[in-house]
Chain A
Amino acid sequence: MNIIVVGLSHKTAPVEIREKVAFEADNLAERLAQVLALPSISEAMIVSTCNRVELYAATMRPEQACVELQHFIAECHGLTPVVLKEHLYSYACQEAVRHVFRVTASLDSMVVGEPQILGQIKTAYGHACDCKSAGLVLNRFMHKAFSVAKRVRTETAIASSAVSVSYAAVELARKIFDSLENKTVMLVGAGEMCELAAKHFVRYGVSKVLVTNRTYSRAEKLAESFGGVAVNFENFREQLHRVDILLSSTGSPDYVISAADLKSACKMRRYQPMFLIDIAVPRDIDPAAGRIDSVYLYDVDDLQGVVQSNLKAREKEAVKADQIVSQEVIRFHEWLSNLTVRPTIVALRKQLEEVRQKELQRTLSSLGDLDAHECKMLDAMTSAIVNKILHHPTRLLKQLDCDDDKLRYLDAVQMLFDLSVQPPSDDLAELPDE
């Protein structure tokens, strides 16, 4: 059995193409049934998010199945396969397994390490389970993919740092204040980014929000949404000493808060640290304020810089993550390739063993008086013959890489020995060693 992946993602297709080939959730069941009806597909699932559309399938004929899926995607969305061809990628066998593990672990995402994709794939798998289009192979495959994603998350620091400006601000605040509880945040001006950051701060336990704006009514409205207090713009500087974290984003062309304002505020609050975030362009806070000992001033470029370096750190972690993925790919591949050959080998062994037992009994009974030692010798000899004969074919079957060759050999073995092979079951024992 083989895993194949056919699809496209933000890396290979622009949004105009991605939106055309997206699968809608409403008729997913129908689509899955259509995929299953394709001649080479035995199990399938469809992942469709805004950044990627992918079909995962289990098949005995990977090459054929890939072509079938490519055509399927094109036909579904009324496109010609030629148009899609340059955007679609197809992976089979180990490459497919690796790809899906990387996707699930968020190593292939637009922002590496962002965890949404895992949830999306879990949902897609849920749909496939509901429609019974996922069987033994995909079940095992998906569970493995989820556990790989978990390993990557716990064993690497891939998702441990902020990659958005507003989260970066929260993270910095926690390196300054440790806990944000009982801290006071002030919003100066009402920018979208400010609001977003303020929301994060509130979520992390900030207890008091002050809002000020040139238009008092807007300040009041915004304050209401945070359960905070509106402050008059004319005299908000008098409140500065109460503020631990200040977010500023006014449209003012000049500095709104001077270094002197902050100096006196710092003195009043006995030099407890202040974290100032200036998101405005042009800037609101005099950069000279950053030189005050207890003031930590970050402008929008500084925060971007933090985000950039966090992203770089994630890339580094991604290398570690890829090593984990590689290990797991090999493990899963072993299971998968045994899955195909195992029933045939088991059946073959069983049949030869039956022949051996029958012939052995016949010989023993016709020979008559033999002592136990001689019986044992005969038994051992016949076993040895069977094992010797089976040794090479078994090894060959196991060694064949997953491709059509294997299938041809398996067919041949089954035909030559007239084997009836049971479909594989989930509780796979290891293959007997010769």
Chain B
Amino acid sequence: MEPVTLLFSLTTLLYLIASLFYLTAMIGKREGAGRLGRWVLLVGVVMHAGVFAVRHSMASGTPVTSMHESLSFFAWCLVLLFLLLDLRFRLSVMGAFAAPFATGLMIFSALSPDVIIPVNPVLRSWLFPVHITFAFLGNAAFALSFGAGVMYLIQDRMLKSKRFNGLYRMLPSIDVLDRVNYTCLSVGFPFMTLGIISGAVWANLAWGSYWSWDPKETWALITWFLYAGLLHGRLTVGWRGRRAAFFSIVAFMFLIFTFLGVGLLFDGYHTFEAFSMP
């Protein structure tokens, strides 16, 4: 096995172990397992950064040009952001969402063909790493807000219907879940905005126009409007709780479609084929 593949597999394994720890912490109510999970995840995220460092030197360019790499980069952003969020909220319960989600991304990434391609000269711009970093950090934040939203709806359902199952004890209060949902949203939105702006600036440099209604651009804009609407609702109209949680779940569905669906269904310069040398 090549060193970089080995490193990648080890990272996936660490994420998997962290997932197990976090799930044990949640189901078995063991605080210690949550702390272990955090450390394992921390080692994992550092190792994962190593994977990108190696790939960067191999491709002599930003190594996020294939499905394999973008899924893996998504996972890295997600774990990184979760760890930062965990510093603030001490939410090992969210870990039971974030770590398995990241593990899943890694597994799908491993299943996608991993080829290091000579990149299209367009991608050699310094704006490329800026653009994707913002975009994926935004994705990661929205993924976490999605997770918190799902948990919110479950907990809210139980409190409203007055029928409780084992999850009731494991999940935090709806107040905390709502705050996490909001925090992730307010972190994700600026990232996404910057991602879109940096993309537009870069497009102008590369192709001479800021916006060309590429399918990815269109769908990203739709998603951006959804999140803008949600944030606006939260800030001014006082949306919160169930409605906000539900909305953030729907918006995330759009986001996933923008990220995965558009590339598979439509042509455009955001497809991975377009990234390779013409």
Contact = CB atoms under 8 A, between A and B. Distances in A.
Contact of B239 (A157, A271, A290): A271
A172 interface: yes
Interface in B97-139: none
Nearest to B162: A302
B207 interface: no
B60 interface: no
B24 to A, nearest CB: 15
B176 A178 contact: yes
Contacts of B240: 270-272, 294
B89 to A, nearest CB: 11
Interface in B171-196: 172-176
B174 A273 contact: yes
Given A157-B29, A270-B238, A273-B241, A298 B162 contact: yes
B65 interface: no
A296 B172 contact: no
Contacts of A174: 173
A152 to B, nearest CB: 15
Nearest to A305: B162
B88 interface: no
Interface string B126-164: 000000000000000000000000000001000110101
B65 to A, nearest CB: 43
Contacts of A293: 241-243
Interface in A345-397: none
A177 B160 CA distance: 14
Contact of A290 (B160, B173, B238): B160
Contact of A175 (B29, B174, B242, B243): B174
A206 interface: no
A172 B243 contact: no
Given A271-B239, A271-B241, A293-B242, A176 B160 contact: no
Interface residues of B, number: 19
Contacts of B239: 271
B168 interface: yes
Interface string B50-92: 0000000000000000000000000000000000000000000
A204 to B, nearest CB: 13
Interface string B216-250: 00000000000000000000001111110000000
A160 B243 CA distance: 32
A187 interface: no
A270 B175 CA distance: 14
A426 B162 CA distance: 54
B244 to A, nearest CB: 9
Contacts of A305: 162
Interface string B238-267: 111111000000000000000000000000
21 contacts: A157-B29, A160-B169, A161-B169, A172-B159, A175-B173, A176-B174, A177-B175, A178-B173, A178-B176, A270-B238, A271-B238, A271-B239, A273-B174, A273-B175, A290-B160, A293-B241, A293-B243, A296-B159, A296-B160, A306-B164, A309-B164
Given A175-B155, A271-B239, A273-B241, 20 more contacts: A157-B169, A161-B169, A175-B159, A175-B173, A175-B174, A176-B159, A176-B173, A177-B173, A177-B175, A270-B238, A270-B240, A271-B238, A271-B240, A273-B175, A293-B241, A293-B242, A293-B243, A298-B162, A302-B162, A306-B164
- Top 5 A-B pairs ranked by shortest CB distance? A270-B238, A178-B173, A178-B175, A175-B173, A178-B176
